[in-house]
Amino acid sequence: MPLEVERLRRSGSWLYAKRNPSIAFYLINLWTASWHEVPAGSIEDNDDVLADFAMCEPKKWDKLKADVLRGWVKCSDGRLYHPVVCEKVSTAWAEKMKQRGRTDAARLARLNKHKSVTESVTEQTQSVTDTTQREKDFVTGSKG
């Protein structure tokens, strides 16, 4: 997951985390966990799951939950989404699709080149075969 350090350092969540460093640990753990969830950038709205993903003791979670979940938005599917993580997911997906397009185009170009070379070799082989047959016919006097 890409991290924009300057953006993070200017954020309200990080300002709060500077005053309470354990919050930073839990924030980053939730962000990175949500990166790998489906859909990416989201996380299940369940205290046990959240505490586990945050790597926070369940006893502490109730006290810290509101601070750790600053910026997360509950959506109609019942999951929590972090807007910045979702933005990064969207950017990464677009880049992945662009790379996939470039890879597919290169693969197609390579296949077309291979096909052209194969056709050229086939034509040359046929030409040599034809020439050899004509020479053979000439030598034997056949009119093939």
15 confidence band (pLDDT: 50, 70, 90): confident
Whichever domain contains 37, its CATH number is 1.10.10
pLDDT at residue 16, as a whole number: 83
Q: Does 77 map to a domain?
A: yes
Q: Does 31 map to a domain?
A: yes
Q: How many domains does the chain have?
A: 1
Q: Does 61 map to a domain?
A: yes
Residue numbers of the domain that contains 62 = 5-82
> 26-35, 110-119, 133-142: which range is least confident on average?
133-142
Q: Does 44 map to a domain?
A: yes
Q: Does 96 map to a domain?
A: no
The per-residue pLDDT for range 54-85, each reduced to its tens digit, is 999 999 999 999 999 999 999 999 999 999 99
**Burial of 44 (C-beta count, 10 Å sphere; 0-12/13-18/19+):** middle
Q: Does 28 map to a domain?
A: yes
Q: Does 115 map to a domain?
A: no
Q: Does 106 map to a domain?
A: no
Q: Is the pLDDT confidence value at 126 over 90?
A: no
Q: Minimal CA–CA distance to 85: which of 71, 65, 105? A: 71
Q: Is the pLDDT confidence value at 19 over 90?
A: no
Q: Mapping DSSP to helix (H, G, I), strand (E, B) and coil, where does residue 79 land?
A: strand
